[in-house]
Chain A
Amino acid sequence: MVIRIIRKLRRTLFYLIVAGFCFFSASPFVWMLITMFKKDIDLYRTGNNPFLFNDPPTLDHIRFLFESTNYVSFLRNSLVVGILVVVITLVIAIPGAYSLARLTGRWGARAGIGIFLVYLIPPTLLFIPLSRVVVSLGLNNTLWALVVVYPTISIPFATWLLMGFFKTIPHDLVEAAMVDGYSRMVSFFKVVMPLSLSGIIAVTVFTFTLTLHEFIYALAFVSSSAQRTISVGVPTELIRGDVFFWQSLMASAALVALPVGIAYNFFLDRLVAGFTLGAVKG
């Protein structure tokens, strides 16, 4: 009897802990979702219970966001930058990773760690000199600045992650394809690439979300409103002085943050495998 009560108490405590963590993590998002549908009259009356809809919900502020602000441009800019950076990253990181995993032999492991360390250099250290590099390339204030600079973050990490993938593919497979008459290059495309598809998809997702997350370069290199990306456009352009369009602002954040967050979530384990330097198996 006592044991059963203790067991029940422990279970309750366990669920309370889980609930506490969930509440902490989700609260800003819940607050966004409630706010974005509220009428002004409901939102700005301090006596109202802020968690309830004291007046019926409205879509007006979401409509305002899409019709009267640069939000759609921010979305389009982020999409364009994201896709281009993904392409550049894959084209450079796939061969680089294969080379490090297989072809260059013993010093490959060291070069791999070296490349990974580049990922650890934060943009905060480099954004000032890079802002001049961008100007001298004639790319300041355009999305191209971001397209050129973002791969400096994504290539190191993508190379590192793919290297782990390529290492798991038996070298004999490539040799066998070469015996069958394919060149080394062709056997790479025919044998190695299809087997590493899940790794390539993971890298695509990370690179894309990385471009969505990035803040400092986007803030420092692009200053005209219509060219802003979503990460910078929302907190800088949609917050105008002291007048906050809170509902629109919350909608602008929630409409991007939640889908991206959920998609990213499915690939998280792979990201962690990359972070833990292969120290953890499985």
Chain B
Amino acid sequence: MKNGNLITKKEGFLARMRFLTDSEGFLGSLFLFPAIAYIVLLVGIPFVLAIAFSLSDITVGNTDLKFAGLENFRRVIQTPEFLQSLKNTFLFTLVSQAITIVLANILAIVLSSDFRGKWIARLLIMLPWATPVALGTVGWLWLLDSKFSPIDWVLRHFDLLGSPDAILGVQNNLYYLGNLELAKASIILVYVWRMLPLSAVILMAGLTSISQDLLDQADVDGASFWRILFQIKLPLILPIMTVAVLFGLLFTFGDMAVVYVLTRGGPVYYTQILPTWAYIKGIESGALGEGAAIALFLFPVLLAAVIIFLRGSQRMEVA
């Protein structure tokens, strides 16, 4: 009897639960809640904390949040590293992504045609994006080694380096990561290497979405390869190219692994970028407030990117 009573109670409860979970609105909120909660707790709150940190004199040793106004920003801006890091962050991102998008267009057109050995070519070309960036960069570190770089060996082999009348100089090595200009160029090169596959596949997706009828029609009308390319294909994939550029910019802008592994900001601080500098200040030296302030300089640019994104997605909804 006692048992039976329990079952009815349980059944009543289940029926009520079922009534609730069968209602679309309730189940919807129930399903969505954990995702929203997770993001608010571990993205929203830390973001507010980032601003709070930057406005306080917090360090690892003293974690009281005491309001310090714009002191951190003032102190950060006054250092010579700041201007250098800011310039480098933009230089590396903009130059590498400009090169990337040009190469990606060529690569996308090449890879969307059929040829023998296409799958292996595709696999090799995609590897830089698919592998962990820090590990790929370790490969570059050795490829650009100051003494054993195989690039130097090839240059020496063809007498372009290391002989009395060599164009690139009499020294045996070019010191890719020790020479100021070459170090910057090397970092840009690795960013291009890293982002090229992603941009190319995004553009390929755009190219395959162009209607074949349209291309056939252009062909019948006698349009040349270049005319089809510049007057049909490129204008049609322009929205997707924007997406590719935006992702390239965002991922390069927010990355610190490449610079950290290749140069650690050196020689001296001449290849420093905002993310690595924020890490060195905020985590390695424990000046949390200054580190947070440095990282926040990335925010306006990200905000701009997000606004472009939202505009774009709205246009897509309309269309």
Contact = CB atoms under 8 A, between A and B. Distances in A.
Interface of A: 14-15, 17-18, 21-22, 24-29, 31-32, 35, 43-44, 46, 49-51, 91-93, 95-96, 98-100, 102-105, 109, 111, 113, 115, 117-118, 120-133, 148-149, 151-152, 155-156, 159, 178, 183-185, 209, 212-213, 215-216, 219-220, 230-232, 234-235, 239, 244, 246, 249-250, 252-254, 256-258, 260-262, 264-265, 268-269, 272-273, 275-277, 279-282
Top 4 closest pairs, chain A to chain B, by CB = A122-B254, A28-B139, A103-B28, A96-B35
Contact of B143 (A28, A46, A100): A28
B34 A25 contact: no
Contact of B299 (A125, A250, A265): A125
Given A113-B313, A129-B46, A133-B46, A25 B197 contact: yes
Nearest to B139: A28
Interface in B30-83: 30-32, 34-36, 38-39, 42-43, 45-47, 49-50, 52-53, 63
B132 A178 contact: no
A253 B28 contact: no
A129 B47 contact: yes
B221 interface: no
A25 B125 contact: yes
Contacts of A269: 201, 205
B243 interface: yes
A43 B147 CA distance: 11
Contact of A234 (B32, B138, B193): B138
A122 B303 CA distance: 12
Nearest to B149: A50
Nearest to B125: A25
A279 B130 CA distance: 23
B130 A268 contact: yes
Contact of B172 (A46, A93, A231, A261): A46
A125 B295 contact: yes
Interface stretch (B5-13, B179-187, B276-284): B276-284
A277 B135 contact: no
21 contacts: A25-B193, A43-B148, A46-B147, A50-B148, A95-B35, A99-B30, A104-B28, A117-B309, A121-B302, A122-B250, A124-B274, A125-B254, A127-B282, A133-B42, A133-B45, A212-B132, A216-B256, A252-B135, A256-B131, A269-B201, A272-B201
A152 B278 contact: no
- Pick the most buried of B32, B131, B283, B312: most chain A CB atoms within 10 A of its CB: B131
A86 to B, nearest CB: 15
Contacts of B115: 14-15, 18
SS of B interface (majority) = helix
A257 B202 contact: no
Nearest to A148: B42
- Pick the most buried of B39, B208, B251: most chain A CB atoms within 10 A of its CB: B39
Given A121-B302, A183-B21, A282-B209, A265 B130 contact: yes
B305 interface: yes
B134 interface: yes
A99 B32 contact: yes
A124 to B, nearest CB: 4
A124 B256 contact: yes
- Pick the most buried of A43, A92, A128, A183: most chain B CB atoms within 10 A of its CB: A128
A128 B288 contact: yes
Contact of A216 (B27, B63, B257): B257
Given A183-B18, A215-B133, A231-B135, A124 B278 contact: yes
Interface string B115-134: 10000011111111011111
A135 to B, nearest CB: 8
Nearest to B128: A25
B275 interface: yes
B147 A130 contact: no
Contacts of A261: 126-127, 130-131
A46 B38 contact: no
B24 interface: yes
Contacts of A265: 122-123, 126-127, 130
B124 to A, nearest CB: 5
Given A29-B139, A118-B43, A125-B47, 8 more contacts: A15-B115, A95-B32, A118-B39, A128-B288, A156-B39, A184-B24, A252-B135, A280-B240
B254 to A, nearest CB: 2
B240 A279 contact: yes
Interface string B246-286: 01001101111100110000000000001100110011000
A102 B142 CA distance: 51
Nearest to A158: B35
Contacts of B42: 130, 133, 148-149, 151-152
Contacts of A111: 32
Contacts of A21: 103, 107, 110, 121, 125
A115 B131 CA distance: 26
A220 B279 contact: yes
